[in-house]
Amino acid sequence: MAAPQPLELVYKTVDGLDLTLDVFVPDSATETSKVPVFVWWHGGGLLQGTRKGISPHHLSAPMKHNICIVSADYRLAPQTRLPGILADCKAAMDFVRSPAFANATGNRVDASKMVVSGSSAGGWLSLLAGTGIGYAACGLEPPVPVSGIAALYPISDLGDPFWSTKQRPVSYMPSVIPDEEVAPFIDPAADKVAFSALDSKRSIFYHYMVQESILESLLLDDTGVPASAVGVAPALKTGKFMVPPVYIIHGDIDDKVPCQQARDVVAALKEIKADVEYEELPGVNHSFDKDPQCEMENMYAFVARVTK
């Protein structure tokens, strides 16, 4: 079966730049029977990737689960630091709630029933945008509260030694990546980008970042924002943030993002007695949901529950 074709809509960043959303609305949605919306951000360490990186289960979800799927581009680091990326997340969410989005989708989507989601670094964005963690520290207004968060194998805290320990080579790479391979991408003064094809030369950037342990620098240099301000579990424990229901899933042998990143967030959510569902998959590595056989049924059941 051919993949469904998205409706491509443009939203503006706070700087007035145009970014793109891919929107999939089920045929069953009508003005009198609107569907919830699931906003998803791609992974890649906030350094690479594209809205086109959605998984097969995302493509089948509109018809199978009667929801609108939105896959959003955002500007990539280090040319845009984390505060700008968080601003892009809020701008995308605000656009999905706007009259322009309603008109473009035939008033068939109930944007008041929004779940934010993401994979890997995108899962981190969903945790930050869904709770407002990090926004004040970045000088930003937090997004409007959402119905739920679904974070897939998320990064969650730059304080984990994984991000500050060099791996030369990275455990899953055959050799050290030379500096010249990432030279066009690592310069913060280079042209800003918000789309990096999955097979582009920039796709080596994440692995180089792990090799050199420079994620904090790439995301936060020259911002004045401390890494602790965007650590999800420590922020949750302060009790200062409104937390919607949260679903998290992670494989326990993940060598791209340690499973401990998810465990720490889940422990903090349980400590504050939040509504949390957690699945830890034994013997499963990163990006497991790219497999066409992976249907993520428990996640979509969670989405249905929190958007009733």
256 pLDDT exceeds 60? yes
Longest Cα separation, the chain: 57
**Average of per-residue pLDDT across 145-172:** 97
Helices (H) and strands (E) in the chain, counts: 10, 8
Which pLDDT value is given to residue 4? 78
User: What mean pLDDT comes out for the span 136-164?
Assistant: 97
From start to end of 120-271, where are the E strands? Answer: 148-152, 246-251
Share the mean pLDDT of the chain: 97
pLDDT for residue 223:
98
Band (pLDDT 50/70/90 cuts) for residue 38 is very high
User: What residue segments make up the domains of the chain, in order of their start?
Assistant: 7-306
pLDDT at 15: 87
The model's pLDDT over 60-111, given as tens digits with 9 standing for 90+, comes to 999 999 999 999 999 999 999 999 999 999 999 999 999 999 999 999 999 9
CATH number, domain 7-306: 3.40.50.1820
pLDDT class of 1 with cuts at 50, 70, 90: low
What residue ranges in 79-184 does DSSP mark as E strands?
109-119, 148-152
Is this structure's pTM higher than 0.95? yes
* Cα–Cα nearest to 55, from 67, 73, 43, 68: 43
Position 51 scores a pLDDT of 98
Report residue 258: phi and psi, to 5°. Answer: -60, 140
